[in-house]
Structures are given as structure tokens and as C-alpha cells.
Amino acid sequence: MKRYVYADNAATTRLSMKAYEAMKPYLLNEYGNASQPYSFARSSKKALKNSREIIARCIGALPEEIYFTSCGTESDNWVICGAAKRNMSIVTSSIEHHAILRPCEDVQRVNGNVQFLPVSEDGLVSVEDAKRSMQNSCGILSVMFANNEIGTIQPIKNLAKAAHQKGWLFHTDAVQAVGHVPIDVHELGVDMLSASAHKFNGPKGIGFLYIKKGIELPPLINGGMQESGYRAGTENVASVVGMASALEENVRVIGDTNLYLQNLETRLLDGMRHQGLIFKRNGALSHIFGNLSLSFAGQNGETLLHRLDLNGVFVSTGSACDSRRTQVSHVLKAIGLEGSLAKGTIRISLGRYNNTDDVEYLVECLGKIVLDNKLKA
Ligand code: PLP
């Protein structure tokens, strides 16, 4: 088989074998509808209960604070649309994923009650800016835990504290962080948190929203009484089981994985320097290990992506959802990256299934391509 290196783990991750095995019975034999009262549905119901407990434990929440959704996008939309229905003001950052930005833009068009905070050149939101922006008596501050393009981790605890001082709620889109950064929602003071299983070696099309007990968020999807009446739709039992299994596994080895990824990152950066490559790394101050946004002046990120692809190396130019656009991403614009550097940016995101051979091959290919492009220019 042709050699390939998958280095786009911020877009999605490989399903864990353990999660796959855990899901199998619920895809084949245990297919009872978890909402039915008869004994054949008991196993599905129990699987949902166990999974909810596992997930809650992994983020320091209570089981009844976990609501299963179809993805991170749904969890984010639930929060923003719920806030809008309650006429709450919304403050968010300018570097959020489109799963937050688009519903916020919709709300902004309807009632003008949304503010977008700027970020520093490292992609950090200022807690002071956030405080100044929360003027109305009730609102939601929503700031992502870690950015999907540049990996920057925000000062979540301080932002949550600032929101509470103003009497506001705090939500974080933690899709890139859950399973990668130790998270305890109570310790951090988070009121709501979005997550998505496919970012932590779970299956695609399943996620969850943590909602702190006592907070009333109107449902986004109305219908049946699943998820205590807050999220209608027959439960995706197999995927919920896979999500819980993957999260439990990732959280158990989180410290070792981060050391491993830190080491791979260092090898990659050293290897590139050794090849004589000149680049700027974006958002490195406080970041998700393995996520590297690299800018090469005079290069074209799209061309780099396609030439790496021809060599069996898969990286991204920005977020996966942006890959069909050719404009500079809103995140690179927000950190004030100069035009030529922004155009020449790729995102390499390493995961726990990558190894040192992958990194060496990636560096070798990137080195050849960048130098070859320079000679042609
Ligand atoms: N939020 C962030 C930060 C993301 O990176 C993504 C996916 O890339 C999403 C939300 C959307 O998650 P999903 O693909 O599960 O809808």
C-alpha cells in the first residue's frame, strides 16, 4: 500500500478500536429503542445511562448535566439560539468556529445584540475586553476553549469568572479541547460546554452539551421527550456508547499523550529548521499539543496542501469546514497575520496514532516541496 501520513487530526480523528468494539452490539443485536418500556429496550437504556455517567466523570460533571446531540455544531447552535430566544445579549470572540459565528451573525441581523471580541496576535481573548463588553444585565459570554486553526487555548477560568462577576453565563465550545486537555467544568466555572466525539477518536455524528444543573436552556430540537425533554430524537445509542468509550480512553492517557505529542511537535519543528525552512508558527503561546499552524512567506497554502497530498501527506489550510474556500481564514485575519504569510499557511495536526516516522516523512516532503516552489518562483 502507498505510504500515507494523516496529519489532520483537528479536522477529525481515527476511531479508536476499543470504541468500535464497544459500539458493535448496539449496531447489530441490541437495537431496541431506548425510549420503549419493554425488556428488549433495557440494554439500550442502560447503555445510555452508563455512557452519560462515564462522560460526566471525564469532565467533572453530573450525569444529568450531559445532553447528547448530533455533533459539536448542534451543541453550539443550541446555546446561541437558546440565548437569543431568551433575549440574552451575546458576547463571543472573532475567532470562533463557524458553528458559533454563523448563528451569532443570524442573531445579530435580527436584534443586533451580539458583540465579537478581537484577539491578540497569539489568538488570545483579553479578559478585560470581555469584562468591558458585558454591559447588559443578562447575557452569555461564549469563548472557545481551543481554536481549531491555530490551537490557542483561552484563559477559560478567568473568562468564566468575569462573566459571573457581571451576572452572565459562560459557555465554551470545547470541541477541540475535550479529550485533549484535562477539563473539570466545576473547577473552571463553566456553565455550558460543547463537545464532539469525532475529535477525540470517537464516531462522527455524535456530540454532547454540558448544561450546569439549574440553567434553563430552551430546546433547539423539539419533539419527543428524549434527553429529559430538552433534545428530541431517537437516541443514537451505538454512537453514544462509542463516544463514551473513546473519551474515557483518551482521558485515561491524556498526560502521556500530551508528552508524546509535544515530542512529535519538537521533532517536526527541529526537522523543518534543519531542512533550512523558514516559517512562522501561529498561536503557539498556549496551545493544544500537536496543532501547528505554520506560515511560509511567498508560498501558497493550497499548493502546499495539494503537493503534500500527491505524496500521501494529509494536512489542511485552515479548518476542515473552510477547505473549499480560497479566502484567508477569519482566524488568520483576526490575529493580524500579514497577507503573504496568511496565504502561505498550512495546519498540521498530529494525533496519538502518528509516530516519529510520520513526522520524518512529513518534514522530508514539506522540505522538498517548499524549496522546489522557491526555485520555480
Ligand atoms: N467547534 C470547533 C472548535 C470545531 O473545531 C468544530 C469542527 O471542526 C466544530 C465546532 C463543529 O463540530 P462538528 O464537526 O461535530 O459539528
Read off the DSSP letter of residue 178: T
- Find, among 290, 303, 283, 274, the residue nearest to 370 by Cα: 303
Ligand 1 atom at minimal distance to the Cα of residue 145: 3
Distance CA 91, CA 155 (A): 15
- pLDDT digits over 39-82, tens only? 999 999 999 999 999 999 999 999 999 999 999 999 999 999 99
Query: Ligand 1 mean position to 76 CA, how many Å?
Result: 9
Contact 110, 345 (CB under 8 A): no
Query: Ligand 1 mean position to 175 CA, how many Å?
Result: 6
Q: Residue 51 has what pLDDT?
A: 98
- Average pLDDT of the chain? 95
Burial of 23 (0-12, 13-18, 19+ CB in 10 A): buried
- pLDDT digits over 10-42, tens only? 999 999 999 999 999 999 999 999 999 999 999
Q: Residue 319 has what pLDDT?
A: 46
231-249: burial string, b at 16+ Cβ within 10 Å, e else? beeebbbbbbbbbbbbbbb
Q: Residue 137 has what pLDDT?
A: 84
* 23-28, long-range: CB < 8 A, 24+ apart: 23/203, 23/238, 23/239, 23/241, 23/242, 23/245, 24/238, 26/237, 26/238, 26/241, 27/238
Q: Residue 376 has what pLDDT?
A: 76
Residue 127 exposure: Cα atoms within 13 Å on the Cβ side: 14
Three-class SS state of 77: helix
What is the average pLDDT across 114-128? Answer: 97
Contact 70, 206 (CB under 8 A): yes
Contact 30, 241 (CB under 8 A): no
Query: Ligand 1 mean position to 274 CA, how many Å?
Result: 34
Assign 320 a pLDDT band (cuts: 50, 70, 90).
very low
Q: Is 71 considered catalytic here? A: no
Assign 328 a pLDDT band (cuts: 50, 70, 90).
confident
Residues with CB under 6 A from ligand 1: 71-73, 76, 97, 99, 144, 148, 173, 175-176, 196, 207, 319-320
Catalytic residue among 81, 138, 321, 365: 321
* Amino acid of residue 129: D
If one counts every other C-beta atom within 10 angstroms of the C-beta of residue 213, the result is 8
Burial of 64 (0-12, 13-18, 19+ CB in 10 A): exposed
Assign 373 a pLDDT band (cuts: 50, 70, 90).
confident
Query: Ligand 1 mean position to 290 CA, how many Å?
Result: 17
pLDDT surpassing 70 at residue 265: yes
Assign 325 a pLDDT band (cuts: 50, 70, 90).
low
DSSP string, 116-148: EE---TTSPPPHHHHHHH--SSSEEEE--SB-T
Q: What is the pTM of this model?
A: 0.96
Distance CA 223, CA 229 (A): 8
Closest CA to ligand 1's atom 9? 72
pLDDT surpassing 50 at residue 160: yes
Distance CA 278, CA 296 (A): 7
Distance CA 324, CA 157 (A): 35
Distance CA 81, CA 100 (A): 10
